């Protein structure tokens, strides 16, 4: 994990630890699967959705309730469930430097394991007892699945950049937006349009950086695998010349980073706002 990112995490370390404590498994699974799932959930992870949400809430001077940590644990469980399902779809053998569940066991167990994590997330959300929050999460999971389906049916098609942005909003941005929007509602505050725009722009920038890094940082296995499977991301979509496509993608990334910064301009100066800005600037560091 990037040292600068670690320093940002230190600002809300106690909050992130409380989120992590809420991410646990029951003992109802077979020991061999429980061990692997536990290792998967506790592997080095950015917990960036929780980090962004907590920093924004703190910067907005909103009080975090015990239910917020349950909510963010649900967000992380849904995110990890989507990763397990993605590995099955992509036939991936490695995730975070470890063998994927579909590789260690098989696709059937991996799919059910992802579903199990979704069940744990749902249990937490029901425990919170907020119908508006539950409704937001239900919509978000539907949107994430829609993005995955659309990506499947657009295989080997050079989609437009607008379609790429929409897919990225669905697959990645939606969960960032869900985490922040539902947390603001849980804090008893009105949801400002700028807050939602911030979360959406941040999620888009995060996805664009990931796609860009796969090519620029020589993650040829991931980049080549996407191309071989007919998944064409921004650098490929924006230009037939890869070098030109990379530069145009950098411009696209910077645009969303700047838009996200503008959304938090009105927040009072604080260590939390400064950390959000530092986090956004890290996204530009490709």
Residue pLDDT, tens place only, 171-207: 999 999 999 999 999 999 999 999 999 999 999 999 9
What is the pLDDT, as a whole number, of residue 97?
A: 72
Which pLDDT belongs to residue 222? 55
Structure confidence by residue, pLDDT tens digits, 120-144: 999 999 999 999 999 999 999 999 9
Q: What is the pLDDT of residue 43?
A: 73
pLDDT of residue 53: 98
CB atoms within 10 A of CB 1: 9
> Between these two residues, 22 and 216, which has the higher pLDDT value?
22
Residue 1 pairs in a beta bridge with none
Please, is 228 exposed, middle or buried when counting C-beta atoms within 10 Å of its C-beta (0-12, 13-18, 19+)? exposed
pLDDT (mean) for 232-237: 92
What pLDDT shows up at residue 29?
Answer: 79
**Half-sphere exposure (CA, 13 Å, Cβ side) for 141?**
21
Percent of the residues in the chain that have a pLDDT greater than 90, as a whole number: 72
- Asked if residue 1 has pLDDT above 70, the reply is no
DSSP-assigned letter for residue 62? P
Higher pLDDT, 72 or 24: 72
Question: Across residues 72-93, what is the average pLDDT?
Answer: 92
The mean predicted confidence, pLDDT, of the chain is: 91
Backbone angles phi, psi at 95, to 5 degrees: -145, 125
Q: Class assignment of domain 3-284?
A: mainly alpha
The 10 Å Cβ neighbour count of residue 129 is: 9
Q: What is the pLDDT of residue 225?
A: 66
State CA 69 to chain mean position distance: 17
220 pLDDT exceeds 50? no
Report pLDDT for 224.
58
Q: What confidence category does residue 213 fall into, taking pLDDT thresholds of 50, 70 and 90? A: confident
Domain segments of the chain as ranges: 3-284
CA separation for the pair 235, 232 (Å, rounded):
8
Query: What's the pLDDT score for residue 24?
Result: 78
Instruction: Give pLDDT, residue 197.
Output: 97
């Amino acid at each position: 994990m990037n040292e600068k990112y670690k320093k940002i995490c230190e600002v809300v370390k106690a909050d992130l630890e409380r989120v992590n404590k809420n991410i646990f498994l029951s003992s109802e699974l077979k020991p061999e699967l429980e061990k692997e799932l536990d290792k998967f959930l506790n592997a080095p992870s950015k917990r960036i959705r929780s980090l962004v949400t907590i920093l924004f809430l703190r910067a907005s001077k909103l009080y975090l309730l015990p239910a917020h940590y349950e909510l963010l644990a649900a967000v992380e469980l849904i995110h990890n469930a989507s990763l397990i399902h993605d590995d099955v779809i992509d036939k991936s053998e490695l995730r975070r430097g470890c063998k994927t569940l579909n590789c260690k066991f098989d696709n059937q167990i991996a799919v059910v394991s992802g579903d199990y994590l979704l069940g744990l997330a749902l249990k937490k959300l029901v425990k919170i007892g907020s119908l508006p929050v539950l409704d937001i999460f239900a919509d978000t999971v539907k949107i994430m699945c829609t993005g995955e389906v659309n990506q499947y049916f657009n295989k080997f098609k050079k989609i437009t950049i607008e379609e790429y942005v929409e897919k990225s909003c669905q697959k990645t941005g939606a969960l960032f937006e869900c985490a922040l929007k539902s947390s603001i509602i849980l804090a008893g505050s009105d949801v400002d349009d700028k807050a939602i725009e911030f979360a959406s722009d941040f999620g888009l920038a995060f996805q664009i950086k990931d796609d860009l890094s796969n090519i620029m940082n020589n993650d040829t296995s991931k980049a080549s695998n996407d191309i071989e499977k007919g998944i064409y991301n921004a650098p490929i979509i924006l230009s037939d010349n890869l070098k030109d496509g990379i530069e145009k993608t950098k411009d696209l990334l910077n645009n969303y980073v700047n838009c996200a910064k503008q959304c938090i301009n009105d927040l009072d100066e604080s260590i939390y706002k400064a950390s959000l800005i530092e986090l956004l600037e890290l996204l530009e560091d490709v």
